[in-house]
Amino acid sequence: MKRVGIPVLISALLLVALVGCSTDAGTGKPLEENRLVIGVTAGPHEQIMEKVKEVAAEDGLEIDIKVFNDYPMVNIALAEGELDVNSFQHEPYLEQVKKDKNLDLVAIADTVNFPMGIYSNQIKDVKQLKKGDKIGLPNDPTNGARALLLFERAGLIKLKEGVGVDATVNDIAENPLDLELVELEAAQIPRQLDEFAAAAINTNFAVEHGFLPSRDAIFMEPEDSPWVNVLAVRTENKEDPVLEKLINAYQSEEVKQFVEETFKGSVVPSW
């Protein structure tokens, strides 16, 4: 038996580990012609995709829905080939994740908009916030920036000029109430709302927690906000014919009517 030197063995093991941990390798294969595995987050995205599944079936497309309870793993699962498509995020979030994790993913169609809202179990209006109150916001860069822009629109803070979707808590230029901003994982904020005077919550997590955003939010983004959600795929598959069936099903009149009737303005069709 040939003996392998320790340095060579270590190098080989490191190479295997690096290949195994790669998140942008893709599958190198086209998607199936009439079947897709689609990842969604629990809540509205799951509900909408169930309706899309019904509509797609009429065109001979089978959809297998995989439900996730947090954001980060949905893009990883897509990049690693566990999923064919995902539907849960707006494009600024996708672009940030692609950059941070070197993922070769691309958006192929607009879906819906989930206007972010400010919620509270203690007050009924943002004007009731007091000096030194604690408010929560998501800790991921894109949704954190989105929350800061929402706080600015509500008149709670003022951001440095021009920071836009790249805003962080370090870009707060004025905070007249000396509010304490606490960043948390987006999915955790509804569960910890009692710890805050108010908090910015993504609509899917608000709905999952039992809120009706159009009724329960004390301040909301306008319906025409730029944070439109998308269908995402691996870049290598973006031209696969089966995706046209999916897009046609999602952007159908039946799905649009379902969204409008089910969510009553809390989720807005964006096609």
DSSP sequence for 210-229: T--HHHH-SEE--TT-S-EE
- Of 264, 150, 258, nearest to 214 (Cα)? 264
Instruction: Tell me the per-residue pLDDT of 95-106, one tens digit each, with 9 for 90 and over.
Output: 989 999 999 999
Domain extents in the chain:
27-114+227-269, 117-220
pLDDT of residue 92: 87
Query: What is the spatial order of strands in the sheet that 180-184 belongs to?
Result: 180-184, 134-138, 198-201, 117-119, 219-220
Instruction: Tell me the per-residue pLDDT of 175-213, one tens digit each, with 9 for 90 and over.
Output: 999 999 999 999 999 999 999 999 999 988 998 899 988
- Of 238, 262, 264, 220, nearest to 49 (Cα)? 262
What residue type is 39 in one-letter code?
G
Query: Matching CATH topology for 27-114+227-269 and 117-220?
Result: yes
Instruction: Tell me the per-residue pLDDT of 39-81, one tens digit each, with 9 for 90 and over.
Output: 999 989 999 999 999 999 999 999 999 999 888 899 999 999 9
Helix ranges (H only) for 102-170 are 141-153
Average pLDDT over residues 207-231: 88
Residue 153 banded pLDDT, cuts 50, 70, 90: very high
pLDDT of residue 158: 98
Q: At what angle do helices 253-263 and 44-57 cross, to 10 degrees?
A: 150
Residue with tokens 């959809």: 63
Residue 25 banded pLDDT, cuts 50, 70, 90: low
CATH topology of domain 27-114+227-269: D-Maltodextrin-Binding Protein; domain 2 (3.40.190)
Domain spanning 117-220: CATH superfamily? Periplasmic binding protein-like II (3.40.190.10)
